């Protein structure tokens, strides 16, 4: 089954404690991306990757890091989480040319105390 998986689905942490949210896709997609969604603001792109070892900043990259060492995985790293990073996070993947649909993961709810 074609899918994007994220782990964990729910996470409560404290300010400053490094965390990683994993994202994996099984569709051999070149393009992967991370978004955060906050009430009233809609989805905002954090980082995206056009292919292995190629990453670029989206609209709200501050406080986040990513890596793309393998085609299927695109982890999101919060080196020192802060309460304003409390949000719902989505990972997504698609073909590089974007001419087909982008598949979204189920989301990760993060609470930073």
Partner 1 sequence: KNQVEQSPQSLIILEGKNCTLQCNYTVSPFSNLRWYKQDTGRGPVSLTIMTFSENTKSNGRYTATLDADTKQSSLHITASQLSDSASYICVVTGDRGSTLGRLYFGRGTQLTVWP
Question: Residue 30 class from Cβ within 10 Å (0-12 exposed, 13-18 middle, 19+ buried)?
Answer: middle
Contacts of 39 (CB under 8 A, 6+ apart): none
62 makes contact with partner 1 (CB under 8 A): no
Alpha-carbon 1 to chain mean position = 21
Q: Is 102 in the site for partner 1 (CB under 8 A)?
A: yes
Query: According to CB under 8 A, which one of 26, 84, 100, 113 is a site residue for partner 1?
Result: 100
Candidates 12-20, 32-40, 63-71, 73-81 — which segment interacts with partner 1 by CB under 8 A? 32-40
| Structure-block tokens of residue 25 | 């896709």
| Of 40 and 69, CB closest to partner 1 | 40
**109 closest CA partner among 95, 94, 90:** 90
CB of 59 to partner 1, least distance (A): 8
50 contributes a contact to partner 1 by CB under 8 A: yes
What's the residue count for the chain?
113
Interaction site with partner 1 (CB under 8 A): 4, 31, 33, 35, 40-45, 48, 50, 56, 58, 88, 90, 92, 97-102, 104-107
């Amino acid at each position: 089954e074609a899918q994007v998986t994220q782990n964990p689905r729910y996470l409560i942490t404290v300010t400053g404690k490094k965390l990683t949210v994993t994202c994996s896709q099984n569709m051999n997609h070149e393009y992967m991306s991370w978004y955060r969604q906050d009430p009233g603001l809609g989805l905002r792109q954090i980082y995206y990757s056009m292919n292995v070892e190629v990453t670029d900043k989206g609209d709200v990259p501050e406080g986040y890091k990513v890596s793309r060492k393998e085609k299927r995985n695109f982890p999101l790293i919060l080196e020192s989480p802060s309460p304003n990073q409390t949000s719902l996070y989505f990972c997504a993947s698609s073909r590089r040319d974007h001419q087909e649909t982008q598949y979204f993961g189920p989301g990760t709810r993060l609470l930073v105390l």
